[in-house]
Chains A and B, each alone.
Chain A
Amino acid sequence: MTELLQLVLFGVVLGGIIALGAVGVSLIFGILRFANFAHGDMMTLGAYLALVVVGPLALPMYLAFPLALAATAAVVVAIDQVLFRRLRRTAPVILLISSFGVALILRSAIQLVWGPDNVVYSSAIQLPWRFAGLRIRPDHVTILAITLGLVALLHLFLQRTRMGKAMRAMSDDPDLARITGIDTERVVIWTWITGGALAAAAGIFLGMDTRLNPLLGWNVLLPVFAAALLGGIGKPYGAIAGGFVIGIATEVSTMFMAPVYKPAVAFALIVILLIIRPTGLMRGK
Chain B
Amino acid sequence: MELGGLLTFLVFFLTLAGIYAVMSLGLNVQWGFSGQFNIGIAGFWAVGSYTAAILTTGPSAFHLGGFGLHFVVGLVVAGALSALLALLVGLLCLNLRTDYLAIATIGIGEIVRLALKNEDWLTNGVRGIPGIPRPFAEHGRDLQQLLFLGVVLLTIVIVYLALERARRAPWGRVQRAIRENEPATMAAGKNVLRYRLEAFVLGSAIMGVGGALYAHFVGFISPEAFDPLFTTFVVWVMLIAGGSGNNRGALLGAFLIWAVWSGTQFATAYLPVELTARAGALRVLLVGILLQVILLARPQGLLPEHRPRPIPARSKEPVRRRA
Within 8 A of B (CB), among A255-285: 258, 260-261, 263-264, 266-267, 270-271, 274-275, 278
Kindly state whether residue B111 has any CB partner on chain A within 8 Å. Answer: yes
Is A258 within 8 A of B278, CB to CB? Answer: no
Q: Which of A61-69, A98-106, A170-178, A242-250 contacts B (4 or more CB under 8 A)?
A: A98-106
Question: Taking A94-B295, A101-B291, A108-B281 as contacts, is the C-beta distance between A35 and B102 under 8 angstroms?
Answer: yes
Is A264 within 8 A of B281, CB to CB? Answer: no
A102 to B233, CA, bound (A): 11
Instruction: Kindly list chain B residues whose C-beta atoms are within 8 Å of the C-beta of A101.
Output: 233, 237, 288, 291-292, 295
Is A274 within 8 A of B288, CB to CB? Answer: no
Is A98 within 8 A of B295, CB to CB? Answer: yes
What would 15 A/B residue contacts be, using CB atoms closer than 8 Å? Answer: A35-B102, A83-B292, A93-B98, A97-B240, A98-B292, A104-B229, A107-B229, A108-B285, A109-B281, A111-B281, A116-B278, A225-B106, A233-B99, A261-B111, A267-B111
The answer, among A86, A98, A267, for a CB contact under 8 Å with B110, is: A267
Q: Which residue of B lies closest to A263 (CB)?
A: B110
Within 8 A of B (CB), among A1-55: 29, 34-35, 37
Kindly state whether residue A123 has any CB partner on chain B within 8 Å. Answer: no
Is A274 within 8 A of B93, CB to CB? Answer: yes
The SS class assigned to the A binding surface is helix
Kindly state whether residue B218 has any CB partner on chain A within 8 Å. Answer: no
How many chain A residues touch the partner (CB < 8 A)? Answer: 45
A260 to B107, CA, bound (A): 14
Within 8 A of B (CB), among A193-233: 218, 221-222, 225-226, 229, 233
The SS class assigned to the B binding surface is helix
Is A264 within 8 A of B100, CB to CB? Answer: no
Is B111 within 8 A of A105, CB to CB? Answer: no
A90 to B287, CA, bound (A): 22
Q: Which residue of B lies closest to A218 (CB)?
A: B229
Instruction: Kindly list chain B residues whose C-beta atoms are within 8 Å of the C-beta of A108.
Output: 281-282, 284-285, 288
Question: Taking A105-B285, A109-B285, A260-B117 as contacts, is the C-beta distance between A274 and B110 under 8 angstroms?
Answer: no
The distance from the CB of A79 to the nearest CB of chain B, in whole angstroms, is 10
Within 8 A of B (CB), among A85-140: 86-87, 90, 93-94, 96-98, 100-105, 107-109, 111-112, 115-116
Instruction: Kindly list chain B residues whose C-beta atoms are within 8 Å of the C-beta of A83.
Output: 292, 296
Q: Which residue of B lies closest to A214 (CB)?
A: B281
Q: 15 additional contacts, CB 8 Å, given A261-B114, A267-B108?
A: A93-B99, A96-B99, A98-B295, A100-B236, A101-B288, A102-B292, A109-B285, A112-B282, A222-B107, A225-B106, A226-B103, A264-B110, A267-B110, A270-B103, A270-B107
Instruction: Kindly list chain B residues whose C-beta atoms are within 8 Å of the C-beta of A278.
Output: 95-96
Q: Which residue of A lies closest to B233 (CB)?
A: A104
Q: Which residue of B lies closest to A221 (CB)?
A: B106
Instruction: Kindly list chain B residues whose C-beta atoms are within 8 Å of the C-beta of A35.
Output: 99, 102-103
Question: Taking A105-B285, A112-B281 as contacts, is the C-beta distance between A100 and B107 under 8 angstroms?
Answer: no
Q: Which residue of B lies closest to A114 (CB)?
A: B278
A269 to B98, CA, bound (A): 19
Kindly state whether residue B39 has any CB partner on chain A within 8 Å. Answer: yes
Kindly state whether residue B207 has any CB partner on chain A within 8 Å. Answer: no
Is B296 within 8 A of A86, CB to CB? Answer: yes
